[in-house]
Amino acid sequence: MVVNHIFAVLNTSSRSCYNSVTMDPSTAQGTNLLALLRDRLPAKIFSRLQEVGALAEQSGISAYLVGGLVRDLLLGHKNLDVDIAVEGDAVAFAKALVKETGAAVKTFPRFGTALVVFPDKFKLDLATTRAESYPYPAALPVVAPSSIEKDLRRRDFTINALAIRLNDGHFGELLDLYGGQRDLDKKTIRVLHGLSFVEDPTRMFRAIRFEQRFGFRIEKNTRSLLKTAAASDLVQQLSGERLQNEIMLLLSEAHPLRAIRRMDKFGLLQAIHSDLTLTPKLNAFLSGLGKAVAWWARRFPARPLDRPVLFLTALLDELHLPATDALVRRLALPERQAGKVRVAKRRVNRIAQRLARSRLLKPSETRRLLAGLPDEGLALIIAKAHALKARQQIGAYVTTFEHVKPSLTGEDLKALGLKPGPVYKKILDRLLDARLNGEVRSETDERELVKRIAKP
């Protein structure tokens, strides 16, 4: 199997040439971030961390602040997701914390994790420090309780393998075993070992996501490992849900086109689908999509777009319909999102062509043409049509035409003596068109029109 061959190759590569990330006790400790914690965290969170540290010290265990919050504190970025790693029983510690603070707790003993929710809705995620092993490439890990050192070793990148001690007497001490602070300073994305992408292929997408979010660069050896892993069938080994999650997170970033270009460079687009590639035409379309998104945000701030769905649909623009359907199924998209992609794929190009070349349509024609399209589809049309009249007609549809209804209903038609049947729909559709086009302006006008329509 190709993936197992890659596993063997990278395992050899890891031992022979990828040894830049090793534990260095001499630089692991010494920096104290107490002042940084106090200055950059809300007082409420700082106080909660102190409470955690005091209880950990009383309980004879060690507690650490871990995850993206540590990284973002050092970068000066806002992040209020608080993850606590406990060298000991995190579930028992969470229950003790609840007794001390009056918070609520939801425990997951099977996973050694707990969620603590304080009365003010502030949340703490706690987990027992653990080691991970992977029985085969792309498998979900087998976990076992372990030390903080091994817990940090299992992380995706060095910049995410940082921890801050919370225990009294050591509160604020930075634990940096694998050079994470160095790589933050150098603006570098680096895996911790040569099998990182093989064990968890989702890290390939995360490497690009963090690179683009922070304006970092993926380190040379990590780039090499990423390209090798992308060229294998590792991505195909991922479940649809795991692949979907990483792609949608990546497309949620502020500059998704940059991430798409990096995916193409590393061969990850082709790993997602063999026919998916960033052609010059597709690149130009995606570049113009940003302007359409900005226009939409200005005009309709109360109707935010589902940006991941929007950029995913755009990315699939040059795939044939059967390939698009297959990829939507592969990604296991929620039905609402899958429906948006499919509807847009079937209708957007045709509508954009008509709006770009035709005369200014009547309001009824615009309504009929655009009805049923998701907002993401409308934004794609704006990006494709490249015409002021297209924006004007879509703007009028969203603000006015979409909401127009005739005054009369089927019950009114029945009261007028008309026999129920398919004719009702024809009459109501004609009334709607007349309302949209200004042919009728009142219920009385509508009744007169119905009489004319129904006249033998």
Residue 213 has pLDDT above 80, yes or no: yes
| 11-15, 48-52, 53-57, 379-383, range with the lowest pLDDT | 11-15
pLDDT, tens digit, 9 for 90 and up, residues 153-185: 999 999 999 999 999 999 999 999 999 999 999
Q: How far apart are CA 125 and CA 15, in angstroms?
A: 35
> Which pLDDT value is given to residue 322?
95
Query: Model confidence at 13, in pLDDT bands (50, 70, 90)?
Result: very low
Report the top-level CATH class of 22-189: alpha beta
* pLDDT tens digits, one per residue of 345-378: 999 999 999 988 767 889 999 999 999 999 999 9
Domain 22-189 and domain 194-272 have a common topology: no
Report d(CA 185, CA 158) in Å as an integer. 12
Rounding to the nearest 10 degrees, give the CA dihedral for residues 411, 417, 420, 424: -70
The domain locations on the chain are 22-189, 194-272, 273-403, 410-454
Among residues 127, 118, 115, 65, the alpha carbon closest in space to that of 90 is found at 127
Question: Residue 25: pLDDT above 80?
Answer: no
pTM for the predicted model, two decimal places? 0.88
Whether 15 has a pLDDT exceeding 70, the answer reads no
pLDDT of residue 24: 56
Q: Residue 286, Cα to own-chain centre: how many angstroms?
A: 18
Give, as one character, the DSSP assignment of residue 191: B
175 strand-pairing partners: 163
The whole-number average pLDDT for the span 279-290 is 95
* pLDDT for the residue 73: 96
| Model confidence at 9: pLDDT above 60 | no
Tokens 């699939």 correspond to what residue?
A: 316
Checking DSSP bridges between strand 142-145 and strand 130-133, what pairing results, if any? antiparallel
Which two three-digit tokens encode residue 73?
Answer: 């504190």
Half-sphere exposure in the Cβ direction for 312 (13 Å, CA): 29
Task: Using alpha carbons, select from 158, 87, 99 the residue that is nearest to residue 128.
Answer: 87
For the chain, how many residues are written? 456
- Percent of the chain past pLDDT 70, that is, above it, reads 93
Summarised one tens digit per residue, pLDDT across range 431-442 is 999 999 999 999
Taking all residues of the chain, what is their mean pLDDT, rounded to a whole number?
Answer: 92
Q: Are 162 and 176 in contact (CB under 8 A)?
A: yes
Decide if pLDDT at 245 tops 80.
Answer: yes
pLDDT greater than 80 at residue 2: no
CATH class of 194-272: mainly alpha
Give the Å distances, CA to CA, from 370 to 51, 296, 312, 344: 56, 16, 21, 11
* 273-403 carries CATH number 1.10.3090.10: yes
Cα–Cα distances in Å, from 112 out to 47, 91, 328, 330? 25, 6, 34, 31
Provide mean pLDDT across the span 101-115: 93
Cα–Cα distances (Å) from 376 to 31, 297, 307, 412, in that order, read 48, 12, 8, 36
